[in-house]
């Protein structure tokens, strides 16, 4: 005789749970849609250099072939100047950062500037070598190509580091040195632009090299200005569009790999013995003013001028005030 058992029916799901599931799914879909919208909004693949030349390299810009690159150069002022001025920009900048100085100096002196390998319209180095030694070799070869036997060299940030390294490596070719918030000593920033911070995270490279919110570039530029209200939309356009130049974002990540080897060169600074002008912004939080004081202590006979209220790029933030000090240093009329 079979024993009858009572089987209780268990529903597969509680109908009272459906509203909760629907709400969770809705939130997930909203977040997914927001993420996709953000990616689409900030999606910014590399741009070919040909797409940027018309806006950022009108005359007197030209390009020279050097070390396997097409190097963006501007060469202005009197051609009979026996000691031209060579100006070198910093990380993620371009030769345009010197526009204000060139306008003031070129009526009196020949002024040459370029986009460094890895930045601006010059773009990446073929071998991805962004060491200080390679940059110094690049400057030597550029001076040779332009047939410049003796020059005044000035540089900002990374460009300042390249300037003093070039003066040290080729002392007979550099008569005077101008350092503007220059690299040289181990870097301990009080604040760093978000773009620089992200570029140092190598595993993010596949993402950061495909997306670039314009607001991030604006925030990064405002971070290095003492007066952020001086950052104009046109200035942000320039930094943004030249960052998108094909290969530049990858170059920035590769360049940051050399920070420790750069710092190891600090002991060489005291070997410099040429007339040197040191300019610094009092509000520089990337390379604080104490570094300017160290340069003055280490370079015998050097002059230091600190500009109150200016940041890491004082030559760009207030070219009129900063270039007057340079003119006095070079014995030019005010």
Q: Which residues contact 106 (CB under 8 A, 6 or more apart)?
A: 76, 77
Percent of the chain with pLDDT over 90: 77
Higher pLDDT, 15 or 84: 84
Helix (H/G/I), strand (E/B), else coil: 50: helix
Report the alpha-carbon distance of residue 79 to residue 84 in Å, rounded. Answer: 9
Over residues 62-111, the pLDDT tens digits come to 999 999 999 999 999 999 999 999 999 999 999 999 999 999 999 999 99
What is the pLDDT, as a whole number, of residue 4? 43
Per-residue H/E/C for 142-202: HHHHCCCCCEEEEEECHHHHHHHHHHHHCCCCEEEEEEECCCCCCCCCCCCCHHHHHHCCH
Helix or strand (DSSP H, E) at 278: strand 276-281
Identify whether the C-beta of residue 104 lies closer than 8 Å to the C-beta of residue 320. Answer: yes
Q: Cis ω on the peptide bond leading into residue 200 (within 30° of 0)?
A: no
Residue 230 is encoded by which pair of tokens?
A: 């001086």
Backbone angles phi, psi at 193, to 5 degrees: -55, 145
Helix or strand (DSSP H, E) at 239: helix 233-243
- Is CATH 2.60.40.1120 the classification given to domain 50-329? no
Q: What is the pTM of this model?
A: 0.87
Contacts of residues 125-131 at CB distance under 8 Å and 24 or more positions apart, as own/partner, are: 125/67, 125/68, 125/69, 125/251, 126/67, 126/68, 126/69, 128/251, 128/254, 130/251, 130/254, 130/255, 130/257, 130/258, 131/258, 131/261
Over residues 188-224, the pLDDT tens digits come to 889 888 888 888 887 777 887 788 899 999 999 999 9
């Amino acid at each position: 005789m079979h024993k009858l058992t009572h089987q209780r029916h268990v529903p597969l799901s509680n109908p009272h749970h459906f509203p909760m599931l629907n709400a969770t799914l809705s939130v997930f879909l909203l977040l997914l849609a927001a993420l996709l919208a953000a990616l689409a909004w900030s999606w910014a693949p590399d741009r070919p250099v040909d797409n940027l030349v018309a806006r950022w390299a009108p005359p007197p810009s030209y390009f020279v072939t050097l070390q396997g690159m097409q190097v963006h150069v501007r060469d202005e002022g009197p051609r009979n100047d026996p000691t031209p001025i060579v100006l070198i920009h910093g990380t993620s900048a371009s030769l345009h950062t010197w526009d204000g100085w060139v306008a003031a100096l070129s009526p009196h002196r020949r002024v040459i500037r370029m986009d460094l390998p890895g930045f601006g319209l010059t773009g990446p180095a073929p071998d991805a070598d962004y060491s200080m030694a390679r940059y110094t070799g690049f400057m030597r070869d550029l001076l040779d190509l332009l047939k410049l036997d003796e020059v005044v060299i000035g540089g900002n940030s990374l460009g300042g580091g390249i300037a003093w390294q070039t003066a040290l490596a080729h002392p007979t070719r550099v008569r005077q040195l101008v350092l503007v918030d220059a690299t040289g000593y181990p870097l301990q920033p009080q604040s760093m632009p978000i773009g620089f911070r992200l570029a140092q995270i190598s595993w993010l490279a596949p993402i950061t090299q495909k997306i670039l919110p314009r607001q991030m570039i604006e925030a990064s530029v405002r971070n290095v200005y003492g007066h952020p209200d001086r950052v104009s939309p046109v200035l942000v356009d320039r930094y943004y569009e030249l960052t998108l130049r094909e290969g530049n974002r990858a170059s920035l990540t590769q360049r940051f790999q050399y920070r420790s080897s750069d710092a190891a060169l600090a002991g060489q600074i005291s070997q410099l013995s040429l007339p040197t002008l040191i300019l610094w912004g009092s509000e520089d939080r990337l390379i604080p003013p104490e570094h300017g004081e160290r340069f003055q202590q280490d370079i015998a006979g050097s002059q230091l001028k600190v500009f109150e209220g200016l940041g890491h790029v004082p030559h760009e933030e207030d070219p009129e005030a900063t270039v007057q000090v340079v003119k006095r240093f070079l014995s030019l009329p005010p």
